[in-house]
């Protein structure tokens, strides 16, 4: 009888832990999606004749899934955008492995989003490897919930700065035919395209 009681208590404990764990994951996903929606709104201001926006791309590369928030295929190259919807003060630099999020007494280390985005560019380059050498531009965007204290060469910006930074690239290097081929290759390899089909 005692073992049944212990089993019930253990089951309740595990159930509560799983509930809060799943709730935390759902909360993080919801915040991430909110950040990505904000960036989509900004990107919708770009001229569609020059910029093709592909959101939420997932590639399977060498047995691992690489998820890219936003890819822009443009006349000027490919823009790969990583979005972070973190709050608090964000500290980091170009080459450190981890950055720090500080909210009052709370401190959290997270993987350097510049390095994370380099992994995304590697995955995209792997998908497009049959095409000519392409120009890639990496951007990391933090929503206005954060205060950035970062030192980087790679653009780490707020949403309202993103369009201006993208438009600062003015050298045309991709023909309309190559653009169409790039977009087609991305859609063929995008796991999310296959789910939606």
pLDDT, residue 196, reads 46
Residues in the chain: 197
**Which residues neighbour 118 within 8 Å (Cβ) at sequence distance 6 or greater?**
138
- Please state the rounded mean pLDDT for residues 35-51: 89
Number of Cβ within a 10 Å radius of residue 142: 22
What mean pLDDT value characterizes the chain? Answer: 86
- Range(s) of the domain holding residue 23: 2-196
Extended strands (E) in the chain: 51-61, 64-74, 77-84, 88-93, 98-103, 106-111, 136-142, 146-151, 156-157
Q: What is the dihedral of CA 107, 111, 115, 118, to 10 degrees?
A: -130
Q: CA-CA distance, 118 to 153, in Å (whole number)?
A: 13
Number of Cβ within a 10 Å radius of residue 48: 8
- Please state the rounded mean pLDDT for residues 149-173: 96
- Please state the rounded mean pLDDT for residues 61-86: 95
Please indicate whether residue 15 or residue 133 has the higher confidence score (pLDDT). Answer: 133
The secondary structure element, H or E, covering residue 26 is helix 2-43
What confidence tens digit (pLDDT) does each residue in 45-63 have? 999 999 999 999 999 998 9
Q: Which residues pair with 61 in a beta bridge?
A: 64
What confidence tens digit (pLDDT) does each residue in 100-143 have? 999 999 999 999 999 999 999 999 999 999 887 789 999 999 99
Instruction: Answer for the pair 58, 66: CB distance below 8 angstroms, yes or no.
Output: yes
pLDDT, residue 190, reads 94
Number of domains present in the structure of the chain: 1
* 0.95 surpassed by pTM: no
Q: How confident is the model at residue 25 (pLDDT cuts 50, 70, 90)?
A: very low
Q: Give the 3-state secondary structure percentages of the chain, helix then strand then coil, rounded to 5.
A: 45, 30, 25
Number of Cβ within a 10 Å radius of residue 166: 23
């Amino acid at each position: 009888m005692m073992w049944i009681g212990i089993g019930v208590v253990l089951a309740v404990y595990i159930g509560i832990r799983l509930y809060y764990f799943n709730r935390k994951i759902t909360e993080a996903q919801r915040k991430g999606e909110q950040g990505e929606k904000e960036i989509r709104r900004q990107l919708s201001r770009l001229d569609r004749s020059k910029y093709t926006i592909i959101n939420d791309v997932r590639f399977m590369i060498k047995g691992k899934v690489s998820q890219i928030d936003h890819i822009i295929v443009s006349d000027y190259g490919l823009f790969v955008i990583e979005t972070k919807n973190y709050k608090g003060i964000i500290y980091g630099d170009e080459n450190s492995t981890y950055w720090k999020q500080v909210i009052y007494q709370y401190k959290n280390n997270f993987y350097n989003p510049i390095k994370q985005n380099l992994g995304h560019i590697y995955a995209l380059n792997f998908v497009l490897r049959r095409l000519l050498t392409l120009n890639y531009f990496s951007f990391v965007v933090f929503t206005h919930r954060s205060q950035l204290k970062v030192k980087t060469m790679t653009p780490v910006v707020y949403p309202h700065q993103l369009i201006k930074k993208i438009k600062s690239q003015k050298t045309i290097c991709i023909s309309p035919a190559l653009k169409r081929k790039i977009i087609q290759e991305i859609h063929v390899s995008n796991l999310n395209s296959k789910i939606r089909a």
